[in-house]
A and B are shown apart, each in its own frame.
Chain A
Amino acid sequence: MIGPLTKALTNPTLTSISQNTNASVATETVLKSIGRPGFILIDKDIDSDTKKYAAAKEFLYQATCLLVYAALVVPVFKRGAFKLAKNKIFKNSPEFQKFRSLKNYESYRKYSAKSLDTRKILLQQHKLQDKFTPEIEQELLTAEKPNNYDLVKGTIELGSITGSVLGLAVLAPQLSHAVIHPALRFIGLEKKKEHKQNNQQKSINTKA
């Protein structure tokens, strides 16, 4: 017997998030952008100005990470990994030749997650016969449980992980360095250098 909690935990949306590197990393970054500044703000050992400064800095860093992630990983690394595998690394693999593009594979995954009856109706309604290769179309229309194509999925996930690492660990710190200080000055949490030197008596602890 499947209980309500187990039913909630097997929810298809949650499953697709947990199996998708992009979705899970984006969720984690959003939570970090809430959690880290939140914990800085409730710290009683730091003075109010320093807390505000450190929290804003951390929030801006995580926001930059999210932007870099959205702009870089999906268009560059996911598509790039698929193309590289299809045309170079696994060019002899029949699995890759069944899909024209990354979008084509993602569309297949979306339909294959549904039940056979729903799939049949949807494929006829949306007139997707031309979208998929005849082999894939046949699989979607007849197979109770269509193939996952683990190699294709794994290649895309590996591309996403590589992109996430490069985007979040290498590019985001560089970009955030250029963005954060002007943004903090714009908000009014950081004073211009000349002005700061004159007012050294009440300065914010930028180490926090």
Chain B
Amino acid sequence: MTLADKLKNICLSLGKNNKPTYAVIAIASVKGICRPAFTMMDKTEKPETKKYTALREGLTELIAIPVYWASGEFAGYFSKYLTKGITEGDFLPNKVKEDIKNGITNESIKKSIKNAAERVNETKLKVTNNLRLAGVCTAALFVIPAVCSIAIKPIVNKIIKQPKKSIKEDIATKTKFTVQPKIVNFGSNIYKYNQNRTTRPHIGLRVGGL
């Protein structure tokens, strides 16, 4: 089988039945590789941010692929219940129905029955595909965002562990200060004692008075 034959088979199969899940799964699969890759290639962001964003994007698409497939198939599964009542009689003209009742059988009636059977199958396929589309749309609107908002944060936090702050660093940040001498207005009394004249920090143990 040549490449052209393979391509022809793919095209024929897509022409006969183009499931709505094909395109969305193909997009999600390539997006799952390309979007994180582009994020990692960004030179303007910090490596930590890049890693976090890329992982989030990759996981979103990784979740989307099975969810799209499952939603489409799950919705399509209900087709058999909805199309249970569809029979060939629904697509036969009234005249042909009467002829069949009267026991008349000829080429024209056989052709009509065959056409009706084809239309039953077509209708069933239409219902299945339309339900699949509904499933895919529900996945895009509710299921994937909901699953992502629940699952992604814990997974990302497990994979990228936040560095624990050391005690020394913690104290250093807590006791960060800037030395600013207070300027006090004494008014006219030049002998008044300035209690705020020190430039030392007002923390910790002090030896010798102030």
Contacts and interface: CB of A to CB of B under 8 A. Distances in A.
B67 interface: no
Contacts of A9: 82, 126-127, 130-131
Contacts, number: 154
B136 A151 contact: no
A20 B133 CA distance: 11
B59 to A, nearest CB: 14
A152 B49 CA distance: 46
A158 B146 contact: no
A64 B29 CA distance: 19
For the side of the interface on A, what is the size category? 35 or more
Interface string A26-53: 0110011011101110010100000000
B130 to A, nearest CB: 5
Contacts of B127: 6, 9-10
Interface stretch (B12-20, B184-192, B199-207): B12-20
Given A9-B127, A10-B130, A169-B34, A24 B7 contact: no
Interface stretch (A120-128, A142-150, A182-190): A142-150
Nearest to B138: A31
Contact of B31 (A38, A43, A89, A168): A168
Contact of B85 (A1, A24, A28, A158): A1
Q: 3 closest pairs, A vs B, by CB? A: A154-B15, A150-B15, A154-B11
27 contacts: A1-B85, A2-B90, A6-B82, A9-B127, A10-B130, A17-B133, A18-B130, A21-B23, A24-B136, A31-B141, A32-B140, A35-B140, A36-B145, A39-B146, A43-B149, A90-B8, A148-B16, A150-B11, A150-B16, A155-B15, A158-B14, A161-B14, A164-B26, A168-B31, A173-B35, A173-B38, A177-B42
Interface of A: 1-3, 5-6, 9-11, 14-15, 17-21, 24-25, 27-28, 31-32, 34-36, 38-40, 43, 45, 85, 89-90, 144-145, 148-155, 157-158, 160-161, 164-165, 168-170, 173-174, 177, 206-207
